[in-house]
Amino acid sequence: MSQIESLLHEDRAFPPTAEFKSAARISDPAEYAEMYRESILDPEAFWGRMARELPWMVDFDKVLDWSDAPFARWFEGGKLNASAACLDQHLEGPRAHKTAIRWEGEPGDVREFTYTELHAEVSRCANALKARGTKKGDRVAIYMPMVPELAVAVLACARIGAAHSVIFGGFSSKALRDRIQDGDCSTVICADGGWRRGKILPLKREVDAALEGIDSVHTVLVVRRTEQEVAWFKERDTWYHEALAAADAECAPEPMDSEDLLFLLYTSGSTGKPKGIMHTTGGYMVGAYLSARFVFDLREDDVYWCSADIGWITGHSYIVYGPLSNGATVVMYEGAPTTPHPGRFWEICEKHKVTVFYTAPTAIRTFMRLGEEHPEKFDLSRLRLLGSVGEAINPEAWIWYRRVIGGDRCPIVDTWWQTETGSIMITPLPGVHDTPPGSAMRPFFGVDAVILDEAGAELPANQGGLLCIKKPWPSMLRGIWGDEQRYRDTYWSEIPGVYFAGDGARRDEQGNFWIMGRVDDVINVSGHRLSTMEVESALVSHPKVCEAAVVARPDEITGQAISAFVTVGADVEVSDELRVELGEHVTQEIGKLARPREMRFTDALPKTRSGKIMRRLLRDVAAGTETSGDTSTIEDLSVLAKLRGDEI
Ligand code: 7RM
């Protein structure tokens, strides 16, 4: 029963332009094929060579030890410091005075750090932490808005060998407390507050509440950002700017064993307590470095912007560790995409001359809904490459992104990966592949991805099934903090010996992967297992629809029926006729089976704070039952309340 039917058909494919190809790091399909072949057939040679592009303090003697599977040990014997790989290695040459981070605040203030300046700031922060007793082997919770000090704090922890645990600045004090306790953190780095949509988030107040009765935390380092009044606990609290002013700008990076913990990052499953995903130094850095280099095709003069928050894995790997270890210029933005105006992102692209832009489908669909007139006001001609991550990008949004933002000239890399995988796993290489809208394309180097049925047998082309990874890869998670058994159970037991983290996918006859959504979300209509992604794509391809989420509702006759939640364009009138029209549209696009039994129009869909649609909450709404499961990660609870109240 693990198979998922595929109804979606896509014939379009877009090659990179000759201009893009001629400058790309890899553009020759034969070269790519040979590299991929080696990475699979001789991973030790491939990864050994790639890893040695990083500045190891002590070379490793063994590439991989998988004898204790599913606990991998990569690059053993090697010593590396992640902050030195991001900073120190660039100070000896022409990058010393290159911009490392160019940051813009929501109110429009701009700050810049060259690699030399960032190195000094990180070293001061590292010394300040050490002076307060924070040391190698500790865990440090970081709870901050998207200010440069967030990147500094992360790198300072890496510098002294303390593992960071970044907790997204939008989480409540309860979520913060749970994570601080679970990680047994000694130190918290936070800000007084942060700007979000013109308002101040009172972060320090949340920290104070979170720490009540917790005595493991001896230090709270507080960045001054919003300058509002904050409570102060003299024994525990220190202003960041005061501590750094008193600290030396030289701090030797701690030589870390390859398998030393670099960070914890919590992911919340639909049930149960959040999992502290563990990433270690060497393998994670190799994965982040290499994928950033090849997937974003980073060149010396690129200005690279990833609009994610550093509180998510995307920010860890593709704002901090990946681009900085490549010596790139990184744009960082504090605020919301539409504050103070709907063209904010495009204004930033123009102002900072962004060349590579990486964002999420939820943002792209929002911009589609807001209209083309906003991006049209800005000069986006410097953009040369676009990326997408976080959810499946439906072909409609993909085409819009390519045309309106990418000027029909930029390749799009639709990158599939997870907190657990640490770095991008399935993606096109932008100079190599012709990309069909909606496909995440090919496994990245060293990634042995397969589509399996429940018994572990490989499925033929175009059969949807479980997306699994057969071989270990350097940036894979090393476990769940404090819960070895949960690690084995969650990822390695669905199909013994193979990594499975919950997504369904199919591979087409050309070998391209199409992600079909979480297998928990699959809808079973009369024994046909349908992918949410495909039905949603069909809905969104109707010109009046902006966003859609479909879920299963119990049905006496068909077992399950499809319930659709739809948002429409600002100027669209909702009516029963429109329901019929959309139903017919789905029938035409992918077939009668997929036609929603029920359709509700709504202003907004419930999403996580990182922008993923929370279908499990919609299931309860569709079934007419109470909300079950965790709602702590929802972006806006009122969206759910509204859905339950004003149905039309
Ligand atoms: C990077 C990130 C992971 C889950 C993953 C998928 C979904 C992510 C894509 C995607 C379709 C994509 N980490 N997902 N990227 N689905 N196409 N390109 O998002 O841990 O927060 O989430 O996100 O379901 O399992 S995450």
Supply the pLDDT for residue 645: 75
Residue 1 lies in a domain: no
Count of domains observed in the chain = 3
The rounded Å distance from CA 580 to ligand 1 centre is: 32
The rounded Å distance from CA 367 to ligand 1 centre is: 20
Residue 43 lies in a domain: yes
Burial class of 479 by CB neighbour count within 10 A (0 to 12, 13 to 18, 19+): buried
CATH classification of the domain holding 590:
3.30.300.30
Q: Are 441 and 427 in contact (CB under 8 A)?
A: yes
The rounded Å distance from CA 230 to ligand 1 centre is: 37
Ligand 1 contacts CB of residue 283 (under 6 A): no
Instruction: Give, using CA atoms, the residue closest to atom 18 of ligand 1.
Output: 416
Q: Are 512 and 442 in contact (CB under 8 A)?
A: yes
One domain, residues 91 and 175: yes
Lowest mean pLDDT of 95-104, 381-390, 620-629, name the range.
620-629
pLDDT 10s digits, 189-235: 999 999 888 888 899 999 999 999 999 999 999 999 999 999 999 99
Residue 10 lies in a domain: no
The rounded Å distance from CA 418 to ligand 1 centre is: 5
CA dist 94 to 55, 85, 329, 399, 532, Å?
17, 16, 13, 38, 49
One domain, residues 305 and 410: yes
Ligand 1 contacts CB of residue 266 (under 6 A): no
Ligand 1 contacts CB of residue 613 (under 6 A): no
CA dist 535 to 182, 205, 395, 596, 640, Å?
39, 43, 12, 9, 22
Ligand 1 contacts CB of residue 419 (under 6 A): yes
Please report the sign of the dihedral spanned by the C-alpha atoms of residue 589, residue 538, residue 391, residue 409. Answer: positive
Instruction: Give, using CA atoms, the residue closest to atom 13 of ligand 1.
Output: 418
Count of C-beta atoms within a 10 Å radius of residue 578: 18
Task: Give the mean pLDDT of 420-428.
Answer: 98
One domain, residues 132 and 239: yes
pLDDT 10s digits, 286-307: 999 999 999 999 999 999 999 9
One domain, residues 336 and 289: yes
Tell me which of 196, 228, 254 is where a domain ends: 254
Tell me which of 254, 288, 321 is where a domain ends: 254
Supply the pLDDT for residue 501: 87
Q: Is the pLDDT of residue 368 over 80?
A: yes
One domain, residues 59 and 99: no
- Residue from 277, 365, 423, 515 whose mutation best tests the ligand 1 pocket (most atoms within 8 A of CB): 515
Residue 500 lies in a domain: yes
Atom of ligand 1 minimally distant from the CA of 420: 20
One domain, residues 191 and 127: yes
The rounded Å distance from CA 289 to ligand 1 centre is: 19
Tell me which of 204, 224, 254 is where a domain ends: 254
Phi, psi values for residue 198, rounded to 5°: 75, 0
For the chain, the distance separating the N- and C-terminal CA atoms, rounded to the nearest angstrom, is 35
The rounded Å distance from CA 611 to ligand 1 centre is: 11
Supply the pLDDT for residue 571: 86
Ligand 1 contacts CB of residue 605 (under 6 A): no
Phi, psi values for residue 126, rounded to 5°: -60, -45
DSSP state of 593: G
Supply the pLDDT for residue 640: 87
The rounded Å distance from CA 75 to ligand 1 centre is: 27
Q: Are 615 and 551 in contact (CB under 8 A)?
A: yes
Instruction: Give, using CA atoms, the residue closest to atom 10 of ligand 1.
Output: 391
Supply the pLDDT for residue 648: 39
pLDDT band at 594 (very low <50, low <70, confident <90, very high): very high
Nearest CA among 394, 407, 392, 312 for reference residue 357: 407
Supply the pLDDT for residue 647: 47
CATH classification of the domain holding 314:
3.40.50.12780
pLDDT 10s digits, 548-592: 999 999 988 888 999 999 999 888 999 999 999 999 999 999 899
Instruction: Give, using CA atoms, the residue closest to atom 12 of ligand 1.
Output: 416
The rounded Å distance from CA 553 to ligand 1 centre is: 24
- Residue from 417, 521, 536 whose mutation best tests the ligand 1 pocket (most atoms within 8 A of CB): 417
Instruction: Give, using CA atoms, the residue closest to atom 26 of ligand 1.
Output: 418
Ligand 1 contacts CB of residue 318 (under 6 A): no
Ligand 1 contacts CB of residue 280 (under 6 A): no
Phi, psi values for residue 144, rounded to 5°: -145, 160
Q: Are 495 and 456 in contact (CB under 8 A)?
A: yes
Q: Are 602 and 643 in contact (CB under 8 A)?
A: yes
Burial class of 570 by CB neighbour count within 10 A (0 to 12, 13 to 18, 19+): exposed
Residue 244 lies in a domain: yes
One domain, residues 292 and 324: yes
pLDDT 10s digits, 92-147: 999 999 999 999 998 899 999 999 999 999 999 999 999 999 999 999 999 999 99
One domain, residues 480 and 403: yes
Mean pLDDT (the chain) is 95
pLDDT band at 271 (very low <50, low <70, confident <90, very high): low
Ligand 1 contacts CB of residue 516 (under 6 A): no
Q: What whole-number distance in Å separates Cα of residue 354 and Cα of residue 233?
A: 42
Ligand 1 contacts CB of residue 521 (under 6 A): no
Atom of ligand 1 minimally distant from the CA of 267: 20
One domain, residues 398 and 532: no
Atom of ligand 1 minimally distant from the CA of 440: 18
Pairing of strands 356-359, 385-389: parallel
Q: Print the domain residue range for 612.
A: 522-643
One domain, residues 74 and 102: no
Nearest CA among 468, 441, 431, 513 for reference residue 32: 431
Nearest CA among 218, 17, 230 for reference residue 134: 218
Q: What whole-number distance in Å separates Cα of residue 565 and Cα of residue 574?
A: 13
Supply the pLDDT for residue 195: 85
What SS3 string covers 88-129? Answer: HHHCCCCCCCCEEEEEECCCCCEEEEEHHHHHHHHHHHHHHH
- Residue from 277, 389, 534 whose mutation best tests the ligand 1 pocket (most atoms within 8 A of CB): 389
Percent of the residues in the chain that have a pLDDT greater than 70, as a whole number = 99
Amino acid at 135: K
pTM of the model: 0.95
Residue 8 lies in a domain: no
Amino acid at 316: H
Instruction: Give, using CA atoms, the residue closest to atom 1 of ligand 1.
Output: 418
Instruction: Give, using CA atoms, the residue closest to atom 23 of ligand 1.
Output: 390
Ligand 1 contacts CB of residue 417 (under 6 A): yes
